[in-house]
Structure 1
């Protein structure tokens, strides 16, 4: 049985026992196998839950060897449970029905224990590589780790050498700049002397040159006279545009915090990730916050709320803020 079928069997088993709205097996932040009743929101859910997995991995960067086992969050209508099989592989379940935490954890642990024997195959599947044939020899894990360590040491040494080279280049550049500054001051003195000599040696312009200059001046005056002043209509349009610009009333940036709190009330901890993403997508400037921008933000955020009753409540509460 190939690894893809093994993953599908585990997904189907969990799905039949827990009846969630969404269940998937991830490698890093990318889903490998997904089963969901929310087919129209599948892609958006996969991306959002992938972001939560990414944030979970950041805990290990802040607290070394923290070894997170699972992530769990619960709202009034939604549960999210993420179980880490390994730091790279995780099982993600989202449910709109209340499932006991102990049952969630137990069923995921059973699947995780079985998946641990397929870690290499899951990695190959994620990277799009064909599985090695039975007769092929595999490289021992110890050798792979040794090679990775050697490559890391080489990269650090190369990086150190480059930093030293850059430092030497910067010092050399500073010397050159210092010398060029001195040469520049001497050069400027010579230029000033030459200019003084040129002023003395300049010849008086010829009659032909004077006539050409007068003709050019007359042509310039004619062009200036031909330019007509702006019409009354043009002046009024310009004034109107200036008044419109002056009369734009921007909303207070505090309204964004209130919108976020309403979203968190309906979606839980996931709200922060979604809110920041939408602010970035819509290119919203807190200093110049228009009513149209706020209405667009509310509309975009509401589409992320899966439960209709909570979505309508969010829209109503936010529209009251405007």
Structure 2
């Protein structure tokens, strides 16, 4: 009996819109809008509707992202991207000179070997595309959780932005500031308010040293502790020693974490002052365990074994202290 041969289903090729958006650091809705308005869509569709972007399609989008990041109006950028792509196949290239292709070239952040999500976030930040940055931050936290999102995606991008403006005559300060603000607002939006779920644990107090204005790493710790269901009270940047002592006395925390990016003034005195606080009723007074975080404590001998050296390892140390 002859068996009829079944037609082979052609393999699905190319990347989905979501994957391309993540790679380029733009919102998926932005890609669909560009396709509708400027005819810069993919060459392949699966089952009639599902878009599949081929390397040539992605190259056009990269050029589009680069040009819009340079301030070129979207319609003109799309036309130039199409012409430049055509020029790669032997047609005349009349695209305006822009000083290189994105997302590489002189405008790219110095990332090194990192995750694809990190590169997408960096591209969106350089373009000052706040909507795309927020969407990528949300997706990173949703997919990976706070610790991985911070250590492998957010922090490398922030560090690269800082290196970029330090080496470019402070030209990229706006990129770092926008990214920092959106990271902070995203963490607070996703993790507050969220009631603690760990019963029987006294609050953990987080504060920056009195002269420390950079609180973003401490906010990441706050988010990670909140994600684990622990009760946390955040007091933010530049918290005076007297106010920290009063907060410890009133809250009665299990742990106090003080962050310092630069060496804190009178760091040894701060350690002694916080550790000397006793709270609770007479006859049953207790004290909190002080931990310190940030490179500012590296040269403070009194910091000792109290130092948290990273978010993941810091969480492990905190859990160990809570278990004792």
Task: Give the TM-score normalised by the residue count of structure 1.
Answer: 0.19
Task: Give the TM-score normalised by the residue count of structure 2.
Answer: 0.19
The structure richer in helix per residue is 1
State the structure with bigger RCO (CA 8 A, min sep 6), 1 or 2: 1
